[in-house]
Chains A and B, each alone.
Chain A
Amino acid sequence: MMTLFWLEARLLLGTRLFQVAAVSFVVLAIFAGWQGGQFARSQARAIETARQLETKTDAEARAKAAEIRASNDAVPWWQNPMNVQAWSYAMIRHVALPPKPLAGVAIADADLMPFLFRINPHPPDRWSNQANEVTSSLAAMGGLDLTDVMLTFTPLIVLLAFADLVRERQGTPRAWLALVQSGAQGPLLMKRLMPRAVMCLLIVAYTVSIGILTTGPVFTASTLFGGLAIAFIVLSYACFWLLLLAALIAFMRNAVATFAAFVGLWFVLGILAPQGTEAIARWSAPPPDPLAVFAAERSATVAARMNEDDLTRAYAATDPQAAEMLLQALEEDRLLITPTNLLIQREVERNRAAEVAEENQQKTAFYAAVEALGRASPALLARQSIYRLAGRDRARRRRFEAQVESYHAALQEAFVPLLMRRATLDDVLLPEPFAFTE
């Protein structure tokens, strides 16, 4: 048995085409791992820099407040450190989605989505974000990451490893000779399939390990287990293709048909599955139309803007401390950008509350449908599982978005009354930094 194993292994490894494919596989995995690792490290660095900036500006604001308190001078509102920060859009408060330790394994759509917002108490259109600027073509292609390389190349390696065997099923002299020598086709196939399957799995395991190491992870127990889990997922994926090809070899008598069926299945499960899953999910649980949402938001904003004077008066009636400034500005026809924008944002939120709740419900149902349907394709299932381990999955992003929303709501609750009054505070009101909870 061992002799046959080594004979098959030597035959396989001696094939020029297989050598080229295996080396390309490893080289691409190293490139993708390096690229993913570099991307994750650049995100971590940007977050670190943002945190340092935040700490520095907080310290400056506190020092300024201490100086004001010590001098006992009357300070006009616009020089108050809190107001300086909050009134301008320059308040330094960051919210970030930190990369997980194994983030380098997958880029997914992280190159398109913001991971670091500089936010303030103003509406979200006044925030800035650190979404990487990408030319549309680069965005359309996406960063080639280790997940892509492993999931795209694994079926190819399986196919090339078994190419000889598939061809021999068509009845080449070598196949007939081997059959005559062994007496039965089943055991012969098993003896020849097994060594090739083992070699395939070894190459896949080697490549995924090299790839993960190239991403430059910090070695801890969690990264070790995460890495092993990723390797397990990729090996399971390879096993799926091995079993599929074995079944095709067993049931199909024509080499070209076997090949065509394998390539066809790969095309359907690997290439068409994402688009197909998305289309079926959209049909079964339609998400809100982004254009319609955009138009509705815009319409609600314009409607609120048409009533901005009434909104200002209504707010002034509820907040005596703000009333003087707001009503005076109205009287003099002065531009009140910040208070007006806040009032309009609240009015739009109030008017669209029911619609937004429905939209969120539709979105949740759509994502659930995508998740459920995605399990039907081994490629998508493996991809989603690796994304989860690398922290690049959509669910984690949605949790981040929800946490940013609540942090912003808390920020507004504290700052909005002060922004309305232009209060002169004796102290600095600095919100707690944002921390993402997994």
Chain B
Amino acid sequence: MTQVLHVFRHQWADFWRRGIVLAMALSVGLVGIASVLLEWQAWHQEDATRQAMQAQERSQWLALEDTHIHKAAHRGYFVIRDMSVGVVLDRGVWDFGGSAIWLEAHRRNAPLLRAADDAGILARAVPRGVGPVCLWLVPLLIAVLAHGVFASERAQGSLAFAISSGAPPGTLVLGKSLATIALAWAGALLPLGLGMAIALANGQEAAPTAVWLVATLAALVLFAVGTVIVSALCTRPFQALIALLLIWFVFVVVWPRLAADLTGQLLPLPSSQTVRVEAEVASEGLVSDESKDLVRTMLATKGVTSPNSGGVSAMAAEIDAAAAFKRIFAPLEEGKQNQARLLDVLSWLSPIGAADRLGDSVLHLSDHDQAVFEARAEAMRFATQMALNEGWAEQTKSARGDAVLWQKVIDAADKATVQRPPKSLAWGGLVLWGFISVWGLISARSVIARSAV
């Protein structure tokens, strides 16, 4: 252990003397901190606007006074997705999913308000948030600054000298790996810590944030260890540099995009127009006798023995429409879930991609969370329409609402819940690459041992 620490200190001193630590800390620190501050400011502004919009929506609904209930049902109510402060850490897929849904009588509307629609230049497959910024930048800098950790010594002959002088190869590999990991963390820890502190101070849950931090740091460890392995396997520093840059290029730039393309080709989704037009047609004139009986029974259990026929028909129509929507939208929803799962598995081929997807998932900014928002909106739509029409069914003559009914509808919307989909499978990628790295370190040890010959 002492020898490992000695190698670590020696390598760290070398990094320090050559200005590598400073270069890493300054470049990643500046870019990372700038990213944290800009994203924080953007979140602060957008979150406040979103909350104000939801409050405006709520107060507009509560101010309906004595509006006809069916009119109110068609006026609808917008549900606006809360923006998680997690966007400071990792923007995830936030910009590419709609974040407002109009809840309307017997109609399932598409999500609106997608940030990507308002971009001047649509920047896709690029990092946003301090986590992805570090996952892109630190490995690139590690490749450029630390590629010669073994290869340079081998080229200069000092590695052969060290081995023949009795330095254990395993100790060298471990010590240099630790120093390279420390170099990677030296750049990333400050911006990641700042981002985490800001997120926690603004209400982000601690446990998922800790998982995100561990995943991000683990991915950096894996790349740092990979750098040491590649450097040990290459005979010349330049060869190591080119190999590492290509590995970075494939892991960070090419594979995530290729994985998305392969997913789209292997598991295509049905056209939205087909699905939504089918839903629109299916929702017209849907009032079955079975549903009416069901509604009457349901109302009877609540003490409404002679309900208003208009209200009963409206409730029955909503039950039938919800059932039709469930059937019609199922291929689309299942298709999206399957695509997300396949992407999780494909991300295993890149430790950076796996850490990024795991971060999206624990920060609730993944495909699964977009699906939950859309599913919950549909559950809210059904709950609000049922509450509204129940109010109608309870009335004998008039079909006009009042403050009590409007509040009841809001309460019904708030209570609507959906089952959360399974967690992201992306963690498997980090475990897989952990094993590969251990195997790589053992192989590197043998290669180093032979370099004295």
Contact = CB atoms under 8 A, between A and B. Distances in A.
B302 interface: no
A380 B122 CA distance: 11
B183 to A, nearest CB: 15
A88 B283 CA distance: 13
Contacts of A163: 238, 242
Interface residues of A, number: 76
Interface string B400-429: 000000000000000000000000000000
A128 interface: yes
B328 interface: no
A298 B61 CA distance: 12
B242 A17 contact: yes
B321 to A, nearest CB: 15
A89 B109 CA distance: 14
A221 interface: no
A152 B258 CA distance: 13
Contacts of B112: 294
B49 A292 contact: yes
A167 B238 contact: yes
Interface string B106-146: 00010011111111111111101000000010001000100
Nearest to A257: B144
A243 B253 CA distance: 24
A409 interface: no
Interface stretch (B66-74, B165-173, B174-182): B66-74
Contact of B117 (A112, A135, A369): A112
Interface stretch (B202-210, B260-268, B384-392, B437-445): B260-268
Interface string A147-167: 010001000100010010011
A143 interface: yes
Nearest to A344: B75
A137 B343 contact: yes
Nearest to B128: A275
A335 B399 CA distance: 12
Contacts of A226: none
Contacts of B116: 109, 112, 139
Given A136-B97, A141-B256, A141-B260, A278 B120 contact: yes
A302 interface: yes
Given A135-B339, A294-B100, A140 B271 contact: no
B238 A271 contact: no
B367 A366 contact: no
A77 B49 CA distance: 46
B431 interface: no
A368 B340 CA distance: 37
A262 to B, nearest CB: 10
A35 B268 CA distance: 13
Contacts of B366: 136-137
Interface string A341-363: 00000000000000000000000
A274 interface: yes
A263 B144 contact: yes
B110 to A, nearest CB: 9
B214 interface: no
A374 interface: yes
Contacts of A143: 261, 264
Given A278-B120, A294-B113, A133 B271 contact: yes
B272 interface: yes
Contacts of A129: 272-273
B432 interface: no
B272 A133 contact: yes
A292 B45 CA distance: 11
Interface string A277-289: 1100110000101
A299 B118 contact: no
A347 to B, nearest CB: 14
A411 B372 CA distance: 38
Interface string B242-285: 11011001000110111111011100011111011100110010
A256 B272 contact: no
B311 interface: no
Interface in B61-91: 63, 68, 70-71, 74-75, 78
B332 interface: yes
Given A256-B237, A292-B49, A295-B49, A278 B123 contact: yes
Contacts of A291: 46, 49-50, 53, 113
Contacts of B100: 294
Contact of A370 (B120, B128, B256): B120
A17 B264 CA distance: 30
B7 to A, nearest CB: 23
Interface residues of B, number: 84
A162 B93 CA distance: 38
B60 interface: yes
Contacts of A289: 49
B364 to A, nearest CB: 13
A337 B238 contact: no
B123 A274 contact: yes
A138 B263 contact: yes
Contact of A295 (B53, B118, B258): B53
B52 interface: yes
Contact of B367 (A128, A136, A298): A136
Nearest to B68: A333
A299 B59 CA distance: 11
A31 B259 CA distance: 13
Nearest to B256: A141
A140 B96 contact: yes
Contacts of A263: 140, 144, 245
B370 interface: yes
Given A156-B249, A295-B56, A290 B115 contact: yes
Contacts of A271: 126, 136
A260 B161 CA distance: 29
A302 B113 contact: no
Given A139-B96, A144-B258, A259-B144, A370 B121 contact: yes
B95 interface: yes
A130 interface: yes
B336 interface: yes
Nearest to B38: A279
A307 B236 CA distance: 79
27 contacts: A35-B265, A128-B272, A129-B272, A134-B96, A135-B339, A136-B366, A136-B367, A137-B93, A137-B340, A138-B343, A139-B97, A141-B260, A144-B257, A144-B261, A267-B140, A271-B136, A274-B121, A274-B123, A277-B121, A289-B49, A290-B118, A291-B53, A291-B113, A294-B53, A298-B56, A335-B70, A367-B120
